[in-house]
Amino acid sequence: MLSNTQTTIRLDANSRMLGRPLTESTSIRLIAVAVAAASLMICVVRSLDGKLWLDELYTGYLLAAPSLPHLWQAIVWGIDGNPPLYLTAAWLVVHATAQIFSWVAVLRWLNVVLAIAALAALFRASRRFVSADTSLMAILLFVALNHDVPYLVLELRAYAAYFFLAAVSILLHLRLMEKGRGRSMLSS
């Protein structure tokens, strides 16, 4: 079915997404996000058997601590340069997951989740200035052309957490500037 503003693709009765017809622009967005997600997953999976830097080995040594007091004592000694909150969160995540998973894999996937959440926050922030399609393309170009995004995802350091906190602070700052709307800080 053709209209003046956009082409609607009707594949079958199941071609609706959230109650709206699946449009050409929605299809392109879904394909772009799927390609980006697949590329990121391939990159992470291929890096799981990679060699670790010495500072990442120190992180692994700390995460092998039998308890949090042992970890905090090692942090006080200055064994690793990661912030104590990151090391505590990493220790909790590693010790909460099944032992069949490598601690390297767990932390890399944690960094992937943090980076995706940061990109989502940047997308939400950029939506205040440009359209959804432009925001999506900007985020995809940011990931594709910036060599630091894969670096912060694949390093077992606090870089992904810093990126996430910076992106969320930008979003919250913009929401504070729009204070007159009467909405909650974290909604929409």
CA geometry: angle 177, 182, 185, nearest 5 deg: 60
Amino acid type, 134? T
Report d(CA 90, CA 88) in Å as an integer. 5
Q: Band the pLDDT of 183: cuts 50, 70, 90.
A: low
Give me the pLDDT at residue 22, please: 59
Residues with Cβ within 8 Å of 150's Cβ and at least 6 positions away in sequence, in order, are: 40, 43
Q: Give yes or no for residue 2 having a pLDDT over 90.
A: no
> Model pTM?
0.73
Question: CB within 8 A of 117, min separation 6: which ones?
Answer: 164, 167, 168
The string of pLDDT tens digits covering residues 29-76 is: 778 778 777 777 776 776 666 778 888 888 888 888 999 999 999 889
Separation of alpha carbons 102 and 157, rounded Å: 16
Q: Would you list the DSSP string of 111-167?
A: HHHHHHHHHHHHHHHHTTTS-HHHHHHHHHHHHHH-THHHHHHHSSSTHHHHHHHHH
What is the average pLDDT value for the chain, to the nearest integer? 79
Residue 64 one-letter amino acid:
A
User: How confident is residue 7, by pLDDT bands cut at 50, 70 and 90?
Assistant: very low
Domain ranges of the chain: 52-181
d(CA 79, CA 82): 9
**pLDDT in the model for residue 99:** 80
With tokens 């729009």, the residue in question is 178
**Helix (H), strand (E) at residue 20:** strand 20-21
